[in-house]
Amino acid sequence: MSTKMLNCRAIILILFATLMLAGCGRNSTISLSKFSELIESELDEINLTIYYSGFSFRTSFNWSLEHFIEVEHDYRFVITGKELAEHRDLLNQLASVELVPSKSNSFVDARLYYVFEHAEYGEIFSFLTYVLGGGAGNFDFVLVNGQQVMGNRILFEAIFPFLPERIVNEIQVNIDAWPPGGE
């Protein structure tokens, strides 16, 4: 009986170690300094994809990022490096934003997600904002590269040139309603 128990524990320990090592090998995010460097040197190799659904309507369940991307987004925009080059100054502001870590008990109900992807490195910068229980956009806390940080206007404004005016206005209304403590 004890040999079986030891074998089970060993198998579980090996599986756990394997999963941990597999996660460590990923390069899913690159630092903002690398993002900045790639904007300056390899912008032609970068694409921006924006997914959007309005902040004002309620849903029967919270939309995870994966569900939002695969099923629920109303709009998807893909911007090439050539188009991005026209707004290099704005992208440099995004790359130099101070990301202040935050901790809250908020849940994700995805409504706006954008990701910069490099042809060789894959995802190099991602942003997600979501709604709270009342249906308002949550701009106090957002996810950048999967980490919860304090919101900052440039995180939203950086994509305005690539969106239709109607959507910019919808997002701007939520930014304008941001509490005075928001940046």
Residue 16 domain-assigned (yes or no): no
pLDDT one-digit tens code per residue, 85-98: 999 999 999 999 98
* Predicted model pTM: 0.76
- Residue 136: which pLDDT band, with cuts at 50, 70 and 90? very low
Q: Which domain holds residue 60?
A: 28-176
Question: Average pLDDT of 12-19?
Answer: 41
Query: Could you give the percent of the chain with pLDDT greater than 90?
Result: 43
Residue 154 domain-assigned (yes or no): yes
Residue 80 domain-assigned (yes or no): yes
Query: SS3 letters for the chain?
Result: CHHHHHHHHHHHHHHHHHHHHHHHCCCCCCCHHHHHHHHHHCHHHEEEEEEECCCCCCCCCCCCHHHHHHHHCCEEEEECHHHHHCCHHHHHHHHCCCCCECCCCCCCCEEEEEEEEECCCEEEEEEEEEECCCCCEEEEEEEECCEEEECCHHHHHCCHHHCCHHHHHHHHHHHHCCCCCCC
pLDDT one-digit tens code per residue, 21-47: 333 333 334 468 889 999 999 999 999
Residue 13 domain-assigned (yes or no): no
Residue 23 domain-assigned (yes or no): no
Residue 21 domain-assigned (yes or no): no
State residue 3's pLDDT score: 61
State residue 34's pLDDT score: 86
Please state the domain count of the chain.
1
Residue 9 domain-assigned (yes or no): no
Residue 182 domain-assigned (yes or no): no
